Amino acid sequence: MSEGGAARAHRVMLLGFGEFERQALASYLRLAGSRALAYKQVDSIADADFVIADADHPGAIDSVLAADRVVDTVFIGAQAPDGALAWAMRPIDPLQVFRDLDATVTLRQASRPAPAAGDAASASTPASVPAPLEPPMRRAGDVAQAPAALVVDDSEIAQRFLQRQLHALGLRTECAAHSARANKLLAEQRFDVVFLDVELGPMSEVDGLALCQHIKQTYLAPGKGLAPKVVMVSAHAGPTDRVRGTFAGCDAYMAKPMDDEALMRQLRELGILPDPDRKDHAKRRRRSSAASSEKPTPT
């Protein structure tokens, strides 16, 4: 969304929480005000785009249910209602909370149909959560199997967003939320590319960098000796982060959320998708070679 050409800050309400946790979340909200995906704190659930709720606070879940805002709420605590945007246990990790919000905002923007010209009302209507993703369609005449991608991320929302992008490009996908699941899938089937989050959360035995090293050393294609391509993905993509990814053995490093064009370009550079420019160049060379061979020899 935009107002006067500038990106609008998404409004977030903090519901419940003790003074220390509330101050920590509020501080992160203030810091997030200058990001590309910006947020600001509001005091009313009716004015909020998203809610961060203390699931252990008496009445917090009831308040969210009464306002019918479960799908817009990140719950923090021992439990969460079905259909919640996200759920995290204590201690609170503000970075993880806002990663889930970032992924949700990007996914909803991608799934929202473009409003008709001058239709301000439709532009401000929240998009619904998209239906579960289906594998990419195969066309009649397709012979070669579509490239396979493994998405490793502890955020289900981030998984679904990247799946959506990869399916649109014709790739098959599997998902894993932690390193143990990723290793199981890699041992059972061959993947052309692995998209690997750097920070895999507390459920993962190792972080993304260590898992990248393990993948490159362990999962070699029979007869080829080549491991899957690994693309590290992270909200942190500064020079130091990229160097750490390089040392871990990754083939590429991309910032979240990934732009569709940048993703397609990266997959072409890695050889996962065909590069039409290279195909056209090869065709021109073949035509030129054929034309030269058909010229009559001077007598």
For the chain, domain boundaries: 7-114, 148-275
C-alpha–C-alpha distance, residues 227 and 218, integer Å: 8
Residue 196 tokens, joined: 């690997």
CATH of segment(s) 148-275: 3.40.50.2300
Residue 2 has pLDDT above 60, yes or no: no
Binned at pLDDT 50, 70 and 90, residue 207 comes out as very high
The pTM of this model reads 0.56
Give me the mean pLDDT over the 145-160 stretch.
89
Asked whether this chain's domains 7-114 and 148-275 adopt the same fold, the reply is: yes
Q: b/e for 162-184, b at 16 or more Cβ within 10 A?
A: bbbbbbebebbbbbbbbbebbbe
| Whole-number Cα distances in Å, 280 to 110, 116, 182, 274, 290 | 31, 37, 37, 11, 15
* CATH architecture, range 7-114: 3-Layer(aba) Sandwich (3.40)
Our measurement of the distance from residue 206's CA atom to the centroid of its chain's CA atoms, rounded to an integer in Å, reads 20
Q: Round the average pLDDT of the chain to a whole number and report it.
A: 79
Please tell me the total number of residues recorded for the chain in this structure.
Answer: 299
* CB neighbours of residue 133 within 10 Å: 15
Summarize the chain as % helix, strand, coil (round to 5): 40, 15, 40
For residue 195, give the H/E element and its range: strand 193-197
Our measurement of the distance from residue 26's CA atom to the centroid of its chain's CA atoms, rounded to an integer in Å, reads 25
17-75 pLDDT per residue, tens: 988 888 888 888 887 666 777 888 999 999 999 999 999 888 899 999 999 999 999 99
